[in-house]
Structure formats: structure tokens, C-alpha cells
């Protein structure tokens, strides 16, 4: 029996990292929002590593925060360790990484959802979508409840037809033995969606008191931690360290001796796994020459003694896993609390999506997160916030929001997914971004906060603070350009100390700051700003000045790309009608339906001459259309 259970603007199915961001964004933009999850105790659960951030991923968290999303704020409240990585490298690749208290993270996030106006959080397993007039208008829950909405966002993670593989043991399950969602997967298939089978995995967890940390190297957090959110200003006290050890020769012998029992090699696993997250058995087979592999021990929280064994993702049988663990220095006596496992699940082929994350097949239906073939909490959350924003914008009758590749890693991620698709679970890497120097950790607010404010996720107060910071950065650059220092003793002394060439004539501060060996601190000592500046402002000024030549070069490339991006392709174009475009390109273009010439040119299999022809055709098309309108009006 079904019954009508409620009417909302937006329904989000799933409350993982994508789902919570989508639901919060939509509700905060003023849309009545329902967030449904199979198990209310699993909101924002971290089924794998207890950490957030790192290169590219940390950038995404920062972008989510700059747009007005939640992940940054939530991890800032609940971390047990914070580290800035890559500090010896350039500013573009500085990356913040936090170890999370994964339980606290969940609780805080759940509380935030519960306290957000317009947002209803409910338990329920969605089995079907309600479709009317080829539009998705709601969902049907296993209990018979029917919810209606103007837009639905699916964020099903690894729950769709999930299957856990642990040695010879194989069973249907979502992550961490949660109920799997079978009917919804079948329903999507019936609706004509292309699904792929992907695989991922997680390592075993061990008891802290059975680890001998004396045999390991300590990995402490930073003394003066930075934060993900631009709004955070208070640190969490008492950071907890991680520990580093290595596999041993014995580890490799055990694995090699049990390969016949490894589902990875026995054929039990059919899903495609990510290359960047191989299991330990995979690493040892593929890199047989490498004598040892790093193993990091990471606490799962403050109120638990469970430790995550990073580097040891495996689907070997349980007893083999224990032997492997005990072959590692410092873990000779270790007690395994949970075994690692591999999990297979259905994902939809992401080229079926528009850059707004709305499905082409079913208007009103959006998808975000692992269902789109990605991997990682941050990638999921980044899509979640965008899907939530676009679902709400659709309900509100406003123009959708698509981030370009020069605006954020989120833009790179979504453009890659919907334009190129993916043959393995997709992970962001900084090398996927062409304009890496522009997509920095430090300038996420400059890139995205105005957008967050426009869509209604950034409060006026926060926006005013942002504007002030921006103004201070600009003013300080003007001051540096117009202030000269003369070759006076105290200036020469500072230059000498920095190992820099001494002055012969007066020179402006901007030129001095451009010297690689001169930092903003040196400049400050020569001639301090009359206005009090925050560290963030100083950092921003220093980066913008020091790397201005390279930044300028990238901006020129962006300019060129924008011209192509601004050439929009009419939505009703029929590629099969275009004489001269290669057959392969016609198929790809018809399938991807690119919004712009820029996007079209990134589709694999579409050549530059196809693009030239398309440009000519569109010009022709626009002229004909304009002529027709003129004739109709006269």
C-alpha cells in the first residue's frame, strides 16, 4: 500500500557526504527539502579513511566552504589532527589535510541538518522514482510512503546493488554491512540509464593497545593549525598523532603465498577498481621490485581505540589479513577489530548528465557523488553542493550554475565527468587541472564566495567581511607599487640578510617582493603597512605579487578558453544533420550534448576540424534562425 507522505521542493536521496551538502544547500536557498536515508545513524558516515583533505581534495573542501557548503566547517569542529601538506612547494599546491573524529563528524553533521530550517531528515529506503510526463516528480519508499517534489537528487554512494567481497565470502551489502539498495538500481536500469560496475575497498581496523608505537615513526599535527573554513577561528585542542611503519619481507611472502585466495586475482571481482587506490595484494604483484610499502596508523576518533591501517586495503580472507597485519613491525601482537573488504556497486555513466548534474534522460532528476562514478568524500561533497544548488535554482526558476575549469576543482571534476566520462572510480588530482596556479587553497574565497553569495548560501555579513579582505589585498598592492625604499642601511641590511642583491637606487616594494628570496616579512620590516593586516591578507598579497608572471600566463590561457566557452551551442541542434562532421564525432556530440564549443572540444574523439565545422554550422544556424525570426516579425 502506498500513501502520500509529503510534498517538498527538493528531495535528496541519501545522507552521505554528497547528500548532506545537497540537502543543506537546497534548504538554505529557501527550498523545502527532504533528506531520506536508509539509516539515520549513518549520516555523513566515513566508511573508509578517517581523514579529509590533501592535494586537490583539500582544495575542494575549501571551495565548498567558499560557496557556503558545510564540509569545511564540520571538519574544523571535529578534527583530531590538522596538517598543511606541501609547504615546501608552491602556494598552488599547499594542501590542508585533517584526521577526523569520524563519529563526532557524523554527530555534528546530523545536528546541523536537524537544526536547519526548511530541512526534514527522515529514514527510509527509496525504491522507485515517481515519473510523470517524462519528469521526475518524487520518490516511493519501501514502506509505501510517497513523497512529491519538483526536483530529486540521488546520492546513493556505494549502496546500489552493493556487494562485499572478503576472501571467499561474498554477500550483498552496502558499506560497513549496511542494507544495500537493489530495487532502486533495477529501477534506474529499467528507466534506461547506463550503469557500470565499480569496485573500491577498505583496510582492516586494529586495536590501539595492541600496537607497539615504539617501532613506528610519529606523524604529529601542525603546531599552529590552519582551517578549512574561512569562518573558523578557533582550534580544537589536543591533536592526536598518526604513526608510520612499513610492510616487511614476510608480509610480501604471506601475500604471494595466498594470491590464489585473493578475489582480486581469482576473478571473483568484476568491478573496475581505482588505480590510485590499489589493494596491498595489487601493489605487491604490480610493483614486485619494491621491497616495502608505507603503512600509516590513523586513529578513528577520540572516543574509540580503533585504528585505521592506511596502505593495507585488501579483500584477502580474514585470517590472511590477520597474518599480514602481524608481519608488520610494531603490529606483531595486533588484534584486528574489523577485516578489510572490497565492495562492488553500480554507478551511472556520468556522460548521461548535464554540467548541472541533472540527468538528460529525466528532467528533474539530479545525481551526485559516488553514484556518478567518483571516489572520495570530498569529490562527493563537491558534487553534492552543486547538485543541491542547481536543484534549488531549478525549483526557483533561475539560471543554473556551472563552474568553469578555471573557477575551481569542482568545475574540473564535473566537466571531466560529464564530458569525458570515467573508466574507473574518479579521483581528483591537482594534475587534472590545467590552471592549477589559479586554483589555490588560499584564494578559494576570491574565486567562489561572490557566487555563493549570489545563489544565497553566503550571508551578507560573511560577504561583507570577504569584500573587506579583498579591498585590503588590493590596497596593499597599490601601496607596494607606489612606495619606494632608498639604499639606506636598514634596507641594505635586510637585503643582505636575505641573500639578495643590494640596492643602488630607490626601488618600489613591489619589485623587491618579486625577488624569489624576499618575503613579505622582509618588506614589512623595510616599510610596514600603516593599516593592520591579517595574515591571510599578507599571504594573499605575497602570492599574487610573487607569482604574478606565471599567474598572468595562465590567465591568458584562460582567456583563450573562455572565448570557446562563450560560444554556446543551440540546445536543439541536430548533429546528424551537419554535413562534414565525422561519424564518431557526431555520435559523441549527440550523446554528450555539450553546452559550448569549449566543452565540445574536450570530448574525446572530436577533432579540431570537427570543431571548425561545428563553428561554421552554428554560425549558419544562427543566421538562418535570425532570418526566420525577422521574416516572422515583419
Q: Residue 186 Cβ, how far from another protein at the closest point, in Å?
A: 32
Q: Residue 92 Cβ, how far from another protein at the closest point, in Å?
A: 6
CA–CA separation, 436 vs 93, rounded Å?
8
From the list 245, 427, 394, the residue with the least C-alpha distance to 330 is 245
Among 144, 220, 487, 604, binds another protein (CB under 8 A): 604
Told to check if 349 binds another protein by CB under 8 A, we report no
- Helical pair 102-115 and 71-78, crossing angle rounded to 10 deg: 130
DSSP-derived pairing of the beta strands 163-166 and 33-37: unpaired
Told to check if 580 binds another protein by CB under 8 A, we report yes
Q: Report the residue number, 41 or 559, with the smaller CB distance to another protein.
A: 559
Told to check if 394 binds another protein by CB under 8 A, we report no
Instruction: Scan residues 202-221 and list those touching another protein (CB under 8 A).
Output: 203
Whether the CB-CB separation of 466 and 447 falls below 8 Å is answered with: no
The 466-505 contact track toward another protein, x by CB under 8 A, reads ----------------------------------------
Told to check if 277 binds another protein by CB under 8 A, we report yes
CA–CA separation, 28 vs 89, rounded Å?
37
For another protein (CB under 8 A), the number of binding residues is 59
Told to check if 56 binds another protein by CB under 8 A, we report yes
Instruction: Tell me the window of 90-98, 233-241, 363-371, 460-468 that interacts with another protein (CB under 8 A).
Output: 90-98
Told to check if 89 binds another protein by CB under 8 A, we report yes
Q: Report the residue number, 23 or 242, with the smaller CB distance to another protein.
A: 242
Close Cβ partners of 480 (under 8 Å, ≥ 6 residues apart): 508, 509, 510, 513, 523, 541, 545
How open is the CA angle 285-287-289, to the nearest 5 degrees?
A: 110
Among 1, 3, 88, 115, binds another protein (CB under 8 A): 88
Whether the CB-CB separation of 121 and 40 falls below 8 Å is answered with: yes
Q: Residue 282 Cβ, how far from another protein at the closest point, in Å?
A: 8
Told to check if 560 binds another protein by CB under 8 A, we report yes
What is the DSSP code (8-state) at residue 527? Answer: S
Told to check if 429 binds another protein by CB under 8 A, we report yes
Among 117, 237, 516, 530, binds another protein (CB under 8 A): 516
Q: Residue 493 Cβ, how far from another protein at the closest point, in Å?
A: 21
Instruction: Scan residues 521-550 and list those touching another protein (CB under 8 A).
Output: 547, 550
Among 612, 625, 628, 629, binds another protein (CB under 8 A): 612
Told to check if 272 binds another protein by CB under 8 A, we report no
Q: Residue 219 Cβ, how far from another protein at the closest point, in Å?
A: 8
CA–CA separation, 601 vs 560, rounded Å?
13
Q: Residue 91 Cβ, how far from another protein at the closest point, in Å?
A: 8
Among 620, 625, 628, 629, binds another protein (CB under 8 A): 620
Q: Residue 551 Cβ, how far from another protein at the closest point, in Å?
A: 10
Instruction: Tell me the window of 176-184, 262-270, 458-466, 619-627 that interacts with another protein (CB under 8 A).
Output: 619-627
Cell of 36: 531520506
Q: Report the residue number, 152 or 439, with the smaller CB distance to another protein.
A: 439
Q: Residue 580 Cβ, how far from another protein at the closest point, in Å?
A: 4
Distance from the Cα of residue 18 to its chain's centroid: 10
Told to check if 75 binds another protein by CB under 8 A, we report no
Instruction: Tell me the window of 47-55, 115-123, 347-355, 477-485 that interacts with another protein (CB under 8 A).
Output: 47-55
Q: Report the residue number, 396 or 498, with the smaller CB distance to another protein.
A: 498
CA–CA separation, 57 vs 74, rounded Å?
15
User: Which residue is associated with the grid cell 573488504?
Assistant: 341
What is the DSSP code (8-state) at residue 181? Answer: B
Among 171, 213, 265, 276, binds another protein (CB under 8 A): 276
Q: Report the residue number, 9 or 542, with the smaller CB distance to another protein.
A: 542
Told to check if 290 binds another protein by CB under 8 A, we report yes
Report the 10 Å Cβ neighbour count for 595. Answer: 19
From the list 618, 445, 459, the residue with the least C-alpha distance to 537 is 445
Q: Residue 618 Cβ, how far from another protein at the closest point, in Å?
A: 10
Buried b (16+ CB within 10 A) or exposed e, 555-592: eeebeebeebbebebeeebebeebeebeeebbebbeeb
Instruction: Scan residues 227-266 and list those touching another protein (CB under 8 A).
Output: none
Close Cβ partners of 544 (under 8 Å, ≥ 6 residues apart): 473, 477, 551
Q: Report the residue number, 267 or 499, with the smaller CB distance to another protein.
A: 499
From the list 592, 258, 631, the residue with the least C-alpha distance to 415 is 592
Beta bridge partners of 307: 206, 299
Told to check if 278 binds another protein by CB under 8 A, we report yes
Among 114, 332, 488, 619, binds another protein (CB under 8 A): 619
Close Cβ partners of 592 (under 8 Å, ≥ 6 residues apart): 351, 418, 419, 599, 600, 603
Whether the CB-CB separation of 600 and 591 falls below 8 Å is answered with: no
Q: Report the residue number, 84 or 322, with the smaller CB distance to another protein.
A: 84
Among 224, 233, 431, 583, binds another protein (CB under 8 A): 431
Instruction: Tell me the window of 110-118, 273-281, 334-342, 588-596 that interacts with another protein (CB under 8 A).
Output: 273-281
Q: Report the residue number, 267 or 608, with the smaller CB distance to another protein.
A: 608
From the list 377, 369, 433, the residue with the least C-alpha distance to 407 is 433
Close Cβ partners of 402 (under 8 Å, ≥ 6 residues apart): 355, 356, 411, 414, 595
Q: Residue 561 Cβ, how far from another protein at the closest point, in Å?
A: 9
CA–CA separation, 26 vs 622, rounded Å?
36
From the list 104, 359, 338, the residue with the least C-alpha distance to 204 is 338
Torsion sign, CA atoms 449, 450, 453, 454: negative
Secondary structure (3-state) at 353:
strand
Q: Residue 222 Cβ, how far from another protein at the closest point, in Å?
A: 14
Whether the CB-CB separation of 272 and 198 falls below 8 Å is answered with: yes
**Residue ranges binding another protein (CB under 8 A):** 48-49, 55-56, 85-86, 88-93, 95, 203, 274-278, 283, 286-287, 290, 293-294, 296, 310-311, 313, 429-432, 436-437, 516-517, 547, 550, 553-554, 560, 563-564, 579-580, 604, 607-609, 612-613, 615-617, 619-620, 623-624
Amino acid at each position: 500500500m502506498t500513501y502520500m507522505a509529503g510534498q517538498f521542493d527538493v528531495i535528496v536521496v541519501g545522507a552521505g557526504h554528497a547528500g548532506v551538502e545537497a540537502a543543506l544547500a537546497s534548504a538554505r536557498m529557501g527550498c523545502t527539502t527532504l533528506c531520506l536515508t536508509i539509516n539515520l545513524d549513518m549520516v555523513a558516515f566515513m566508511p573508509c579513511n578517517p581523514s579529509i583533505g590533501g592535494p586537490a581534495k583539500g582544495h575542494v573542501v575549501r571551495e565548498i566552504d567558499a560557496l557556503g557548503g558545510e564540509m569545511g566547517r564540520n571538519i574544523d569542529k571535529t578534527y583530531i589532527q590538522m596538517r598543511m601538506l606541501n609547504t615546501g612547494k608552491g602556494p598552488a599546491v599547499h594542501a590542508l589535510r585533517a584526521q577526523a573524529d569520524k563519529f563526532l563528524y557524523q554527530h555534528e553533521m546530523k545536528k546541523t541538518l536537524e537544526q536547519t530550517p526548511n530541512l526534514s531528515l527522515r529514514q527510509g529506503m527509496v525504491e522507485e522514482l515517481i515519473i510523470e510526463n517524462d519528469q521526475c516528480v518524487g520518490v516511493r519508499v519501501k514502506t509505501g510512503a510517497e513523497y512529491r517534489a519538483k526536483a530529486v537528487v540521488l546520492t546513493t554512494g556505494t549502496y546500489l546493488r552493493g556487494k562485499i567481497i572478503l576472501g571467499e565470502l561474498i554477500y550483498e551489502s552496502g558499506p560497513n554491512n549496511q542494507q544495500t539498495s537493489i530495487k532502486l538500481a533495477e529501477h534506474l536500469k529499467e528507466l534506461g540509464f547506463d550503469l557500470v560496475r565499480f569496485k573500491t575497498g577498505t583496510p582492516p581496523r586494529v586495536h590501539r593497545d595492541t600496537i607497539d608505537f615504539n617501532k613506528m615513526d610519529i606523524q604529529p599535527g601542525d603546531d599552529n593549525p590552519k582551517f578549512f573554513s574561512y569562518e573558523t577561528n578557533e582550534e580544537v585542542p589536543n591533536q592526536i598523532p598518526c604513526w608510520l611503519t612499513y610492510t616487511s619481507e614476510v608480509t610480501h611472502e604471506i601475500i604471494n603465498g595466498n594470491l590464489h585466495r585473493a578475489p582480486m586475482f581469482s576473478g571473483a571481482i568484476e568491478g573496475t577498481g581505482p588505480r590510485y587506490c590499489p589493494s596491498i595484494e595489487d601493489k605487491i604483484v604490480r610493483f614486485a621490485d619494491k621491497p616495502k610499502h608505507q603503512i600509516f596508523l590513523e586513529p578513528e576518533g577520540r572516543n574509540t581505540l580503533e585504528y585505521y591501517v592506511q596502505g593495507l586495503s585488501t579483500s584477502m580472507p580474514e585470517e590472511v589479513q590477520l597474518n599480514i597485519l602481524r608481519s608488520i613491525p610494531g603490529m606483531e601482537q595486533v588484534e584486528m577489530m574489523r577485516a578489510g573488504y572490497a565492495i562492488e556497486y553500480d554507478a551511472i555513466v556520468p556522460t548521461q548528465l548535464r554540467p548541472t548534474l541533472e540527468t538528460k534522460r529525466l528532467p528533474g532528476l539530479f545525481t551526485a557523488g559516488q553514484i556518478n562514478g567518483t571516489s572520495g568524500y570530498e569529490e562527493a561533497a563537491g558534487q553534492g553542493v552543486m547538485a543541491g544548488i542547481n536543484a534549488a535554482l531549478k525549483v526557483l526558476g533561475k539560471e543554473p550554475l556551472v563552474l568553469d575549469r578555471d573557477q575551481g576543482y569542482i568545475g574540473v571534476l564535473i566537466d571531466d565527468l560529464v564530458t569525458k566520462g570515467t573508466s574507473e572510480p574518479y579521483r581528483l588530482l591537482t594534475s587534472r587541472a590545467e590552471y592549477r596556479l589559479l586554483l589555490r587553497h588560499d584564494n578559494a574565497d576570491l574565486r567562489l564566495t561572490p557566487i555563493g553569495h549570489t545563489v544565497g548560501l553566503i550571508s551578507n555579513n560573511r560577504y561583507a567581511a570577504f569584500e573587506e579582505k579583498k579591498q585590503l589585498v588590493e590596497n596593499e598592492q597599490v601601496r607596494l607599487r607606489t612606495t619606494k625604499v632608498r639604499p639606506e642601511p636598514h634596507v641594505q641590511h635586510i637585503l643582505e640578510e636575505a641573500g639578495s642583491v643590494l640596492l643602488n637606487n630607490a626601488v618600489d616594494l613591489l619589485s623587491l617582493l618579486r625577488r624569489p628570496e624576499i618575503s613579505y616579512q622582509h618588506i614589512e620590516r623595510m616599510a610596514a603597512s600603516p593599516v593592520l593586516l591579517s595574515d591571510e591578507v599578507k599571504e594573499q598579497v605575497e602570492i599574487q605579487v610573487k607569482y604574478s608572471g606565471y599567474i598572468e600566463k595562465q590567465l591568458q590561457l584562460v582567456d583563450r578558453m573562455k572565448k570557446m566557452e562563450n560560444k554556446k551551442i543551440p540546445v536543439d541542434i541536430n548533429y546528424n544533420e551537419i554535413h562534414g562532421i565525422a561519424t564518431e564525432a557526431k555520435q559523441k556530440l549527440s550523446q554528450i550534448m555539450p553546452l559550448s564549443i569549449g566543452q565540445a572540444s574536450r570530448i574525446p574523439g572530436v577533432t579540431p576540424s570537427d570543431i571548425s565545422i561545428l563553428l561554421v554550422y552554428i554560425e549558419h544556424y544562427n543566421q538562418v534562425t535570425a532570418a526566420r525570426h525577422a521574416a516572422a516579425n515583419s
